[in-house]
Amino acid sequence: MSSMSDTPLLLDDGTRRTLERARGADHVVLTGPAGCGKTTLLRTFGQPIVVDDGHVLGEDEVDGLLEEVDAGGRVVVAHRLRPDNRALARLVGRLPGSVVRVRLRPLSPGHVRALAAHVLDAEVSEEFAERLHDRTGGTPRFVLDELSPDPRATFARHLDGLSVAASDLLLVRALGAPFDTDLLAAVLALTPDVVSESVEALRSAGLLRIDGAALPVAADAVEALAPAEQRADLLRELALAQAGRAQPVAGYATSLLELGVVDPGLADVFAAAGHEVIDDDPALAARLFTAAGSGSSALLARARALSGDLDGAVDVVDLEHADADALLVAATVLTLRGQVGRGGELLQRSDNGLGLGFAVSGLLGAGRLEEARAVQAGARSRPARTLTDTLGHRLADVVLQTVTGPPMAAVATAVATAGVNQAGARASVQPDSPTALAALICVHAGELTPARSLLVKAVQGDDGRGLHADRHQLLLACVELLGGDAEAARRLLRPDLAREPREALLAAALELGITRRTGDLRTLRSAWEPAQQALVVHPVDLYTLIPLTEIAVAAARIGQFHRVETHLDEAWTLLGDLGDPPLWSVLPRWNAFHAALLLGDHATAKHHLAALDDAADALPFARALAAAAHCWVQAGHGGVDHARVEAAARELHAHGMRADAARLAGHAAMHTTERKAMTQLLDIARQFHGTNGGRGDGGADVLSDREQEVAALVRDGLTYREVGDALFISAKTVEHHVTRIRNKLGAKNRRELERALEDIDLSPAR
């Protein structure tokens, strides 16, 4: 390992020129922080009198030196910066005016890189040199220490000559104490003058930067050498002092936890620290609230919930004596685990507007309309005292309006409510986020564009954190899937998203929906069991009707519909209890309509179509779905009204349902006997499919154009001869095409092939 004596001095051009002048001068003063190479330079001077460490000279020594100067002697003196030494000041002041002063400065990052390369005998990167410069401040001796086999132990020698006060001051700064003389004096039990003297001594030694920050290498060394008890005592004093001044204490409290210090006298400090970090690190906040003791149980429950520890959150909630915040935590856990009605019941005991607002949404989610109305009336009788009270009142109004009021007015109010109090939503413990609820309402109303806008903003703001971050991303995937972009939905559907039953159900339904739309029958079967299990553990509620009916369509495709019939019956009963509100009913009915068609159950399909017709006057989306469903049924019976189909498809497209619009046009095209109408409808299907960002359905993409034409006619029930007549090919050629199609889609027989073809877009040009 190199030492200062065998290491080249790296000087800037200005210092080098000054040094050349100094070599011919009678008197020279070298200054600089410790470790900058003053001693090494002194050895290069030939003067008879060379004085190192001039900052420790005594009066008698200075008197002797001045006698030599008066007698014509040549003197070179080296000392540290800012020395508090009157004897040295007297010596320097008496030197003739021709004295040359050489100021040694820390190395630049470039010089640090060169020094490191010399010591290590290898090239080093700029990044390495920058880190080394930052840690050492560019002081050559510190750089050498840092490059030694045991940097911390090697550096420790620079701490040996410090006074107790200076050593304690360096330690307390390393522990994060503010650079405040009065605070430092109080914590260290020193006078302000002693603090100031210690600061100057540390700066002179190069251990403290000019701004008072401890040099990283010095901070590491002093912390490593200090006993744990000393660090704990200083941290305790710092934390209490800063808490008394209403200043941040999280850093000190966290360090105390790491040292194993849990002191009842620090309860307020730990609680304050938990408040500081709960937004960004709820798991740490939970540890801090635990250290704070029983007085922070509600806060502890909230922090644990935000960190994903729902079991731990519930464990610390005493439901018999829970306050509004604790009730909200318990209700949130119940809702995430599928017990939306139970969560609503619990929140009826809340004494704030937000809790009562979620009580209304929970009770409505379980189909308990009259109870929800009663809670809303009670909440409205209390004036809103805070913004969260206002949010709760608006939330209650919105969810009731979706059931009992004009649907589109509810959509507008929901979107407006989503913007209230969203700045702190990531750190909120609520059964749902206003954004997620508003987006879900928009989706049910066929307003995919505002839903996407709300969710994109929420996902960006979540940055992967927050209790509802998974929900926001899954709902965004749902919007993309309904809008026809299965690939975008797939990219959003990460495996780590579904941590609780509510999100697990939505994730499983999305997996099935994406797979179904790509026509991959084998994968659809393998994805079925996880989805069915997710459905079993999550009771039916108002807010999970989309995933439920998406699973039902997939079940119809693979012969598993009998396993979801009970759930669907519960869904229709729940909607009936709420008066069959159009906003919540039409999209589930549309999915159920297609499931019935897949099953060949025309009576049930007709029933769902009638429900869409009943809702058409109240909701534009219902009119669009009803018109599309009528066209679908009529086309299946050979009655294709080209203008009516085009109008219905354009209405679906206007609501963002691009893939469904393309499917409708393609379905009708393959059932019309008019060549011109077929061409026009296929053009419309291509046009609508093309608005999907150029991404096609994976199932259709594996088929050639001719195979897509054959598949579309086979899907619609034509015999091989009829398909051949329509496409001007032989029945034998049709049979060969069908065999290849079946192999590509993984279908074992004609029935499975028809199911596989039902949900993919078979527009011939992509």
Instruction: Find the mean pLDDT for residues 87-101.
Output: 82
Range with the poorest average pLDDT among 146-160, 500-514, 589-603? 146-160
CA dihedral angle for residue 425, residue 430, residue 431, residue 437, rounded to 10 degrees: -30
For residue 712, pLDDT over 80 is answered with no
**Helix residue spans in 294-433 (DSSP H):** 297-306, 310-315, 324-336, 340-347, 353-365, 369-380, 387-404, 407-418
For residue 53, pLDDT over 90 is answered with no
Q: Give me the pLDDT at residue 609, please.
A: 96
Instruction: Find the mean pLDDT for residues 70-80.
Output: 82
Query: Quick one: pLDDT band at residue 568, thresholds 50, 70, 90?
Result: very high
For residue 655, pLDDT over 80 is answered with yes
The contacts of residue 119 (CB under 8 Å, 6+ apart) are 1, 2, 7, 144, 147
In tens, the pLDDT along 220-258 reads 999 999 999 999 999 999 999 999 999 999 999 999 999
d(CA 359, CA 372) in angstroms, rounded, equals 7
Q: Which residue has the higher pLDDT, 532 or 465?
A: 532
Q: Which residue has the higher pLDDT, 134 or 33?
A: 134
Q: Which residue has the higher pLDDT, 3 or 588?
A: 588
Report the mean per-residue pLDDT for the chain: 87
In tens, the pLDDT along 590-609 reads 999 999 999 999 999 999 99
Task: Write down all domains in the chain, each with its CATH number in brackets.
Answer: 4-105 (3.40.50), 150-291 (no CATH), 502-618 (no CATH), 627-758 (1.10.10.10)
Q: Give me the pLDDT at residue 765, please.
A: 39
- Nearest 5°: phi and psi at 123? -70, 145
Instruction: Find the mean pLDDT for residues 80-92.
Output: 76
Q: Give me the pLDDT at residue 422, please.
A: 52
In tens, the pLDDT along 3-24 reads 555 555 677 677 778 777 877 7
d(CA 439, CA 457) in angstroms, rounded, equals 11
Instruction: Find the mean pLDDT for residues 206-212.
Output: 89
Q: At what angle do helices 675-690 and 642-654 cross, to 10 degrees?
A: 10
Tell me the three state secondary structure of residue 28: strand
601 burial (CB, 10 Å; 0-12 / 13-18 / 19+) is middle
Amino acid at 465: R
What does the DSSP 8-state code read for residue 24?
A: T
- Nearest 5°: phi and psi at 30? -100, 125
For residue 83, pLDDT over 90 is answered with no
Q: Give me the pLDDT at residue 697, please.
A: 46
Percent of the chain with pLDDT over 90: 51
Percent of the chain with pLDDT over 70: 91
In tens, the pLDDT along 322-376 reads 888 899 999 999 999 999 999 999 999 998 889 999 999 999 999 999 999 999 9
Instruction: Find the mean pLDDT for residues 666-687.
Output: 81
Q: At what angle do helices 620-636 and 582-599 cross, to 10 degrees?
A: 10
**Helix residue spans in 540-641 (DSSP H):** 545-557, 565-577, 582-599, 602-615, 620-636
Q: Give me the pLDDT at residue 419, please.
A: 65
